[in-house]
Structure 1
Amino acid sequence: MNKSLTLITILLFCFACKTPEARKPVSVKTGSFIDQSVERNKKLNAKEQAQFNQIMSANSSNEYLASENGFWYYYNTKTNEAIAPTPNYGDIVNYSYTLKDLKGNLIYPVDNFKNLNYTMDRQELFTGLREGLKLMKPGETVTFLFPSQKAYGYYGDENKIGTNIPLIAEVTVNSITKTEDN
């Protein structure tokens, strides 16, 4: 009995002092979903850019400008005043706009979005319009060509605008009210 107790103790010391080994993963995950999503978005972006190029070449009388934020625009009415303010963070912008698809079909007329007030960067607004308003001065009307990722994206507006729909928006800024924050 003494020998077996000694043998058990020696075996316990041998196995108890073993260093831990790293376990192998059960399954290996790949980035295939991400890769497919990136490829799908590249194709969508190229398709939308081709549509924009077609619209811009058909309307060559307008001087289209590319924004730093990934959309195109031109001025219908431009304010020549160099001192006219553009909105800053917290300013209240009163504006109206219409939305069309790329074929020119009216989705939302100006009556739906007339004399709206937006506090710059403090309220929700789709990305393209939020960035577009930052470029405008009071009294200006600008037509924007928004790719789907700058418009309502994958989800749409859950009403009239579906998934991945690029938009044309004609926006008029009526007034900009500066706030004390600036």
Structure 2
Amino acid sequence: MRPVIHKLAILVIIALGAIGLPSKLQAQTLQIDSFTADWIEGFADFTRWPNESQSHNITIALIDAPEVANYLKRRAAERTSKPKLRIVNLSANDSFEYVDILFVGAGNRANWKTIFEKCQGEGILSIGSQEGFCQSGGCVELVVRKNRLRFLINTDNANQSDVTLSSKLLELAVHP
């Protein structure tokens, strides 16, 4: 009888551990989403667009990144400094007219070519978090280095998209 109780206790412990694991992963993902929103908001302050005026408000569009969008919407509502932020959700097939920053969520690799073509010469800073984003045509790729969220910058792609990134931002970028 004891071996059965012992095996049952082990199964209960394993089950409880498995139940706790998704919530830990979910909390970690939400923390990454919050940090991603922080970086995107920071890029808004250190990027210059063609024909930008003093009253220029920044539109940040997100494709398949609802949690990041939620964090950014909260930040935009609380933001007291200029420029003001407008947050919208789009799909890869939508028009990117009036978009200043475009964050491309995971699972859109098949749409990258279309997305990058729409950004070229339009003053749109494209940001993604999937490996190879910058090599494929994106301007900024968020990466994890030494357990910290950092970013790569492809200045050639930024120039083709007609955006200027601050030298301070370029100094903070990591290299592949």
- Using the size of structure 2 for normalisation, the TM-score is 0.34
Choose 1 or 2 for highest CA Rg: 1
> Whose relative contact order is higher, 1 or 2, with alpha carbons under 8 Å and at least 6 apart?
1
Q: Normalized per residue, which structure has more helix?
A: 2
- Using the size of structure 1 for normalisation, the TM-score is 0.33
